[in-house]
């Protein structure tokens, strides 16, 4: 799966005429995003999570199999002088809900199915901001040809 399509889509998102993220990048995993630390600006990280076959083959001219892809979008929202996170909550929710509304039902490219939302959760607060992880799935058909 090409994660740069998702990156490009997230980079175009706006809320009330303002660009939602200053930066959108793909990271290797959730731990790397958190370990690299301080939130200097509102950022989205696209994180590959897993790919699974369903064990069934679709026989046309070759053996095709559906592959389900899970990926995450980590939203890092800057929070200055907010040790308890009181002020960041509303902004964080606005941002991740905007992401959700723009990913659900969207297809990264014609070879993938529509994206579905799985879950969202706060993964950490600190280092100058809040980190929220949204999990999504899509699928594509892998063929032996």
Backbone φ and ψ of 123, nearest 5°: -100, -25
Chain centroid to CA 120: how far?
A: 10
DSSP 43-82: EEEEEEEEEEEEEEEEESSSEEEEEEEEEEEEEEEE-SS-
Chain centroid to CA 41: how far?
A: 17
Instruction: Give the model's pLDDT for residue 38.
Output: 66
Alpha carbon distance 117, 83 (integer Å)? 30
Instruction: Give the model's pLDDT for residue 62.
Output: 64
Percent of the chain scored above 70 by pLDDT?
92
Q: What is each CA distance from 109 to 10, 22, 25, 32, 142, in whole angstroms?
A: 14, 24, 18, 27, 14
Instruction: Give the model's pLDDT for residue 64.
Output: 81
Which domains are assigned to the chain?
A: 3-143 (3.30.2000.10)
pTM above 0.85, yes or no: yes
| Residue 145 pLDDT class (50, 70, 90 cuts) | low
Strands 14-15 and 129-143: unpaired
Alpha carbon distance 45, 48 (integer Å)? 10
pLDDT per position as a tens digit, 44-91: 999 999 999 876 666 666 668 889 999 999 999 988 777 777 778 888
Instruction: Give the model's pLDDT for residue 78.
Output: 86
Closest CA to 129 of 69, 89, 98, 99: 89
56 or 123, higher pLDDT: 123
């Amino acid at each position: 799966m090409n994660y740069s399509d998702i990156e490009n889509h997230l980079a175009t998102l706006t809320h009330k005429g303002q660009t939602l993220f200053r930066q959108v990048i793909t990271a290797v995993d959730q731990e790397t995003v958190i370990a690299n630390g301080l939130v200097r600006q509102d950022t989205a990280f696209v994180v590959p999570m897993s790919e699974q076959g369903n064990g069934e083959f679709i026989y046309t001219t070759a053996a095709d199999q559906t592959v389900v892809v899970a990926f995450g979008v980590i939203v890092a929202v800057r929070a200055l002088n907010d040790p308890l996170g009181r002020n960041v909550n509303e902004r964080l929710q606005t941002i991740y809900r905007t992401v959700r509304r723009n990913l659900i039902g969207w297809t990264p490219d014609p070879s993938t199915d529509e994206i579905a939302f799985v879950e969202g959760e706060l993964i950490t607060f600190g280092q100058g901001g809040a980190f929220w992880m949204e999990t999504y799935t899509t699928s594509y058909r892998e063929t032996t040809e």
